[in-house]
């Protein structure tokens, strides 16, 4: 009986903690505001696939959920890809089922909570669970002035620099349409890096609520956050939802298929296939 009571207490405490202290996404107040749904169509899901030179198909699927104010509430991810073990150089299938939750908290705060189940069908002993939690603060314009390990520097609504706790300073580079084309980085531990023009864009204007340059990992700042290094296995999507200032205006380079001015599919210049579905 004593063990039973102890177990019940643990379950009650766990259930209480899972409510996040009564957090209500629909009524939470924050200076961050999403782009207006009347002007930017809201994306329900993005599916991505890629076939490598060994005829192996890699798949990513993101399902987006929004609150009553059209802010991002959570992202469910399903990923299947193949990875190389650096020890034996063999390739293994890796499945990831993940969720990113966003909480707009007191004092203009942002909390992101990532959880994932990682499975290796060939080697189940490698299976694991992955948690990450980060915090940030918005400025009065609704852009992040601090997040996790870095501070942001803006010029008007445009993010110009990110200063990391490890001494690295990233400068974003943009073209005349304000699209993020690359970055420069001063590092205290390595040489100066200049990758100013590594990304290119189409002439199709992005009229969705998602910045696809952010979704596809062009904002290198996010890649330097622990756990977020792999560009299509995100634990964060800050730039994708305009939390880091003004977005890239155009869609990334690729063969886009548009319907009524909105993208429904694309084959990127490096061979990734995208399918976009919208909230009705």
Q: Is the Cβ–Cβ distance between 210 and 278 less than 8 Å? A: no
- Reduced to 3 states (helix: H, G, I; strand: E, B; else coil), residue 155 is strand
- Which candidate, 12, 32, 42, 14, places its Cα nearest to that of 143? 32
For the segment 144-154, what is each residue's pLDDT rounded down to a tens digit? 999 999 999 99
User: What's the pLDDT score for residue 90?
Assistant: 86
Question: Over 60: is that where the pLDDT of 173 sits?
Answer: yes
| Residue-wise pLDDT tens digits, 51-69 | 999 999 999 999 999 999 9
Q: Tokens representing 58?
A: 């890699």
Which one, of 95, 97, 94, 76, lies nearest residue 85 by Cα? 94
What global pTM score does this model have? Answer: 0.90
7: pLDDT strictly greater than 90: no
- Both tokens of 106, joined, read 């007191």
pLDDT in tens, 223-236: 999 999 998 999 99
Question: What pLDDT does 4 receive?
Answer: 39
Region 127-140 average pLDDT = 97
Q: How far apart are CA 138 and CA 151, in angstroms?
A: 11
CA 13, distance to chain mean position in Å, is: 31
45 touches 3 (CB < 8 A): no
Instruction: Dump pLDDT digits (tens) for 175-184.
Output: 999 999 999 9
């Amino acid at each position: 009986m004593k063990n039973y009571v102890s177990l019940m207490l643990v379950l009650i405490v766990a259930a209480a903690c899972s409510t996040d202290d009564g957090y209500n996404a629909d009524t939470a107040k924050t200076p961050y505001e999403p782009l207006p749904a009347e002007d930017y169509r809201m994306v329900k899901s993005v599916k991505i696939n890629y076939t490598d030179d060994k005829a192996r198909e890699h798949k990513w699927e993101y399902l987006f959920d929004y609150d009553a104010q059209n802010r991002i509430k959570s992202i469910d991810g399903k990923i299947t890809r193949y990875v190389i073990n650096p020890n034996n150089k063999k390739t293994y299938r890796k499945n990831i089922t993940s969720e990113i939750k966003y909480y707009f908290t007191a004092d203009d705060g942002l909390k992101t909570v990532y959880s994932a189940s990682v499975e290796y069908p060939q080697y189940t002993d490698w299976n694991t669970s992955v948690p990450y939690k980060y915090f940030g603060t918005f400025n009065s314009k609704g852009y992040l002035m601090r997040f996790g390990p870095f501070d942001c520097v803006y010029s008007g609504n445009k993010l110009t620099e990110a200063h990391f706790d490890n001494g690295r300073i990233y400068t974003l580079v943009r073209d005349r349409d304000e699209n993020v084309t690359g970055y420069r980085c001063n590092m205290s531990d390595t040489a100066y890096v200049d990758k100013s023009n590594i990304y290119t864009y189409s002439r199709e204007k992005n009229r969705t609520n998602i910045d696809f340059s952010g979704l596809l990992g062009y904002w290198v700042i996010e890649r330097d956050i622990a756990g977020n290094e792999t560009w299509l296995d995100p634990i964060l999507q800050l730039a994708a939802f305009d939390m880091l200032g003004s977005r890239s205006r155009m869609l990334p380079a690729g063969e886009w298929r548009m319907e009524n001015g909105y993208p429904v599919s694309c084959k990127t210049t490096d061979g990734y296939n995208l399918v976009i579905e919208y909230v009705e």
